[in-house]
Amino acid sequence: MISDLVLLKELPDVIKNSAAAYVGCLSGALMKDKYLEAIKVAGFGEVSVVEETAFPIEWITDDPAAQAVIKDTIEDLKISPEQLKDIDGSVVSIKVRAVKPEFLEK
């Protein structure tokens, strides 16, 4: 069982390229389908999402790293609050269950 942040839709380039977003584990997050596929390619079977929790923009804005991203994005990069709000709900935390191959063979 693992837990990680994934994306339901691509983030704008300005956020993907932000150092603060990278430190906050936001810009390095994979799309959900690619993340699950990577687990399967690594040789795990019976891959399933056990729990999924969306992170509304309000939750993200309480995080200091995310606050830095938002400040940089809005002020320095001239992204409107409306454009930033477009990512609302696109970042989710998932808990994934998978089985090691040797356990599948028994």
Task: Determine the structural domain holding residue 23 and report its residue range.
Answer: 2-104
* pLDDT tens digits, one per residue of 80-99: 667 667 777 788 899 999 99
Q: What is the pLDDT of residue 35?
A: 96
pLDDT at 90: 84
Task: Say whether pLDDT at 72 is over 80.
Answer: no
CATH number at residue 53: 3.40.50.150
Confidence of residue 77 (pLDDT cuts 50, 70, 90): low
Q: What is the pLDDT of residue 87?
A: 74
Q: What is the pLDDT of residue 75?
A: 57
Asked whether 96 and 43 are in contact (CB, 8 A), the reply is: no
Residue 103: CB atoms within 10 A of its CB come to 10
**How many domains does the structure of the chain reveal?**
1
How do residues 25-65 score in pLDDT, each as one tens digit? Answer: 667 789 999 999 999 999 999 999 999 998 766 555 556 66
Q: How far apart are CA 26 and CA 30, in angstroms?
A: 9
Amino acid 101: pLDDT: 78
